[in-house]
Structure 1
Amino acid sequence: MRSAVVLGGSFAGLLAARVLSEYADEVVLVEPDPLDEDGTGPGAPHRGQLHAFLGMGHAQLEKLFPGITRELTDGGAHLGQGDAIRFYVDGRLKVPVPGIRMLGATRPFIERHVRRRVTALGNVRVERATARGLLFGPRRVLGARIAAHGEPETELTADLVVDAMGRSSRLGSWLAGAGWQAAPVDRMRVDLGYATARFARGGELPGTVIAHSMPGPRSGYLPTVIEPGALAAVEGDTWSVLLAGYADHKPGKDPAEFLARLKRCVAPFREVAEVCEPLGDVEPFTFAESRRRRYGDLTRFPAGLVVIGDALATVNPVYGQGLTLATLQAASLHAHLRSGARGGEPALRYFRTAGVFVDAAWELSTTADLAQPHVTGPYPRGYPVLKRVADGITEASVTDPEVNETYMRVLHMLERPRALTGPRVLYRTARTLLGG
């Protein structure tokens, strides 16, 4: 492959550029926002929020960038496992899972290290410009039209173009305008709000790297007593703390309100609120709906084009799947190119492989979202039965180590959701609920 163009320089675009660097003589990363002086670069509007790097995402990131875990922890990130990761349901601490590892670091910190690795590659260059459209031939995409700020449009020819433009991607309209099919879109409105604040980190909560708390079956998945949230020990001797809420219970940017809600959380959050100094402002963000574009369902699609990251799918961020999903899509692109594909045929195999991971994240998040009273569907067939089973597994996962291990492996995208309905898990769930 002579050349590849990646439209979008945030996390998913960086991963795509890293993969393509192994297969293309030149990779052009098109990004309109300038790099910051410290190299953090552009990012999604929610980049300041607390992000999770799940087990599978962490493993895939290490494959793409060998040694990056050590690099991140040397720079101040925290790697936790076992008792250092604390999950609460309805205010009760779940039994730990020894094999699960999670990284405590902010998204800008992770992106900065990834960006430095990518831009140091000899065949990757950054073009500071905005994507204006695609160049179409009779059967394929031939490149992209771009424009730097205040400059006329120019054309970049490429053997492969990657759409990494995020949720606001205009690819659907570009395809339709050229006579191609736009992908079907699945949506689920969740009406989520969340807010992140930083606190100085001292000797409180020794050994804790990640804590996560959510309402569960006993509270009807509503924050009736315990506020939902997450906290992580991150670089710079800092706690990054997130509070979440739906519909009329969204957190705002008022620091006093944030602290008051934090004191209604489980013990680790209360301790941070009571003894740690707040740093900076509270940053709120809203997320209206989960969205999945089903490119793998199309029968006609131009060659020389793939989609990655939020441009392909975004799911409810409270489950922390976004960064991990991007790394799994990058791994799917790697597998697609390694199989011999070079852009001459439509990348439907890539979309179907990536779709396996998207569908798993979608199934997990939307099934959980439907437990919220304000979420009105669409409901999958047999949902009442599915919900009763899911509630039972969630309840059993609080005290049963084996059920919780499977639960956490699914949450961390190390196994597919169907693992939760295996005979062994269902048997131990029933035994736990019956007091056996």
Structure 2
Amino acid sequence: MSGRASSTRQAVVIGGGLAGFLAARALAGDAAVTIVERDTLPTVPEPRKNLPQARHLHNLWSGGAGAVEQLLPGTLAELQAHGARRIPLTSGMVAYSPAGWYRRWDDSHYSISCSRDLLDWVIRGQVLAGNAAAITVLQRTQVLGLVGDAAAVTGVRIRNAAGEEETLNADLVVDAGGRASRTPHWLLDLGLDGPTAREVDSGLVYASRTYQAPPKTPAVWPIINIQADPRSGGPARSGAIQPIEDDRWLVTLSGTRGAEPPRDPKGFEEFAQQLRHPLIAEALVHAQPLTDVTLSRTTVNQRRYYEKTRMPRGLLVLGDAVAATNPTYGHGMSVAAQSALTLRDTLRRRGWAAPDLARHVQKGITRHLETAWTFATGSDVFFPGASENGPTVVERLAARYIDRLIHTATGSGRVARAVTDVMTLEAGPARLLSPDTLIAAARGPLKPSLQHPPLTAEEWQAIRN
């Protein structure tokens, strides 16, 4: 691509993670795409060096899974063929909220549950299998900067593994490089201001370990989620068990400042006993550890407002490079998938010749990331030291309403459905302000609080062996 004339549209995608490959798929029908990745991508489902967060719990909610399927038909079936679980919601989740146990209401949505290694491997394979001629992947290659000026970006400068530098010309550059994105600095190099940004840091630390499920565990096993109470006034602890491929459990525990989970195995299981309910600790008694404990402190909510920034033509930013949120709600992958779908649809609607193509996509993806940002920061901002000025008046009012919704959802199927609509990214936050939801929230829960976890007799037997 360097310096060569071509009648084919050229696109460069920075980053070979899930967001980058889905963006490449969105572009490949209309352009020759080069993915620039600094890492070596595995040829089998295994961890890669520059994605340490992959060892922790991930969810692909139905709103994101549906976007993946639109971009790559057959991918969900391929995931399930390799052992991924399709968890129905809400019957497939046992969750203890700050307001008490949720009931396992009739199913309305779902989550795809598997290791991040498997998910990325399947999606990479699906993208390349259908677009091998249109997509080139440059591994062990670093992007040094953008080519162009304040008016338009025309490519990127790269350095490959051999230390050789060259320029890749492009009609569109997509930065899907994650939290470590260099676009704010590159904009300064072009004489532009960087984006305004906000951070909300609860001090959350994640610790994860993989277990073999107990021998008598039913083939269909729920996600178990003991949630923190962000407005308890002190440090918060939470934890989850996620069933993944090969009859394994991925167990993730987390805690905010003053309640960080430890790295040692004994401390890990003791921490599980300190959650708001001991269910996870009880479930681990007969489970067999398969890995060491992995810690991560990369949990800051970080948002860059590119939709409000003067951007050069031909430059677009997607995924965690725009908004990276606390992994607790598992929205990152789903937002990336929905953003890639918006890229494809906007391109089809407006065409490559549109001078404001990237700007329209940048604004279009805002509605997807806004939901994830609202969920994550709406809780995290209440922890001491999470933000410079603490919760805003709007955030305090919104939190009071969310508290009411969560309380009502423990005993109202209608409100539980509305919350699930938004949590799975099947709907935006406006769904929680619909007349039927407002009336139901005002009425409160219709059923009494559950006093015990809503496990089936078979599930209890597996835990107690």
Q: TM-score range by the shorter chain?
A: over 0.9
Residues 41, 31 of structure 1: CA spacing in aligned structure 2 closer, same or farther, 3 A cutoff? Answer: farther
In the alignment, structure 2 segments of 5+ residues that lack a partner are: 1-7, 449-465
Q: What is the alpha-carbon distance in structure 1 between the residues aligned to residue 41 and residue 396 of structure 2?
A: 49
Q: Which amino acid aligns with 2:29?
A: E
Instruction: Note if contact 2:100-2:407 (Cα within 8 Å) is conserved in structure 1.
Output: no
Q: Which amino acid aligns with 1:84?
A: G
Alpha-carbon distance, 1:185 to partner: 1.1
Q: Which amino acid aligns with 1:249?
A: A
Residues 138, 360 of structure 1: CA spacing in aligned structure 2 closer, same or farther, 3 A cutoff? Answer: closer
1:71 pairs with one of 72, 78, 86: 78
Alpha-carbon distance, 1:430 to partner: 2.6
Is residue 362 from structure 1 mapped to residue 373 from structure 2 by the alignment? yes
Aligned partner of 2:190 in structure 1 is 178
Aligned partner of 2:328 in structure 1 is 318
2:109 pairs with one of 86, 100, 103: 100
Q: What is the alpha-carbon distance in structure 1 between the residues aligned to residue 137 and residue 47 of structure 2?
A: 11
1:158 pairs with one of 170, 176, 179: 170
Can you list the C-alpha shifts for 1:175-220, whole angstroms capped at 9, x where unaligned?
1111123211122122111111100023236632322221348x72
Is residue 116 from structure 1 mapped to residue 125 from structure 2 by the alignment? yes
Aligned partner of 1:84 in structure 2 is 92
Aligned partner of 1:38 in structure 2 is 44
Is residue 139 from structure 1 mapped to residue 151 from structure 2 by the alignment? yes
Q: What is the alpha-carbon distance in structure 1 between the residues aligned to residue 17 and residue 312 of structure 2?
A: 24
TM-score, structure 2 normalization: 0.87
Aligned partner of 1:424 in structure 2 is 436
Residues 159, 435 of structure 1: CA spacing in aligned structure 2 closer, same or farther, 3 A cutoff? Answer: closer
2:13 pairs with one of 6, 13, 19: 6
Instruction: Note if contact 2:235-2:257 (Cα within 8 Å) is conserved in structure 1.
Output: no
In the alignment, structure 1 segments of 5+ residues that lack a partner are: none
Q: What is the alpha-carbon distance in structure 1 between the residues aligned to residue 228 and residue 233 of structure 2?
A: 5
Aligned residue for 1:228, secondary structure, equals strand
Matches of residues 142-291 of structure 1 in structure 2 within 5 Å? 142-201=154-213, 202-204=215-217, 207-216=220-229, 220=232, 227-265=237-275, 266=277, 268-287=279-298, 289-291=300-302
Identity of aligned residues (%): 28
1:23 pairs with one of 19, 26, 30: 30
Residues 382, 340 of structure 1: CA spacing in aligned structure 2 closer, same or farther, 3 A cutoff? Answer: closer
Instruction: Note if contact 1:30-1:130 (Cα within 8 Å) is conserved in structure 2.
Output: yes
Can you list the C-alpha shifts for 1:113-134, whole angstroms capped at 9, x where unaligned?
0111222322111112111111
Instruction: Note if contact 1:119-1:126 (Cα within 8 Å) is conserved in structure 2.
Output: no
Aligned residue for 2:163, secondary structure, equals coil
Aligned positions, number: 431
Instruction: Note if contact 1:33-1:41 (Cα within 8 Å) is conserved in structure 2.
Output: no
Instruction: Note if contact 1:289-1:316 (Cα within 8 Å) is conserved in structure 2.
Output: yes
Aligned partner of 2:316 in structure 1 is 306
Q: What is the alpha-carbon distance in structure 2 between the residues aligned to residue 30 and residue 380 of structure 1?
A: 40
Alpha-carbon distance, 1:249 to partner: 0.9
Aligned residue for 2:266, secondary structure, equals helix
Aligned residue for 1:47, secondary structure, equals helix
Aligned partner of 2:361 in structure 1 is 350
Can you list the C-alpha shifts for 1:398-434, whole angstroms capped at 9, x where unaligned?
1211111101111111111232233322322232269
Aligned partner of 1:292 in structure 2 is 303
Say which is worse superposed, 400-409 or 85-94, in terms of deviation: 85-94
Say which is worse superposed, 66-75 or 339-348, in terms of deviation: 339-348
Alpha-carbon distance, 1:378 to partner: 4.5
Alpha-carbon distance, 1:33 to partner: 1.3
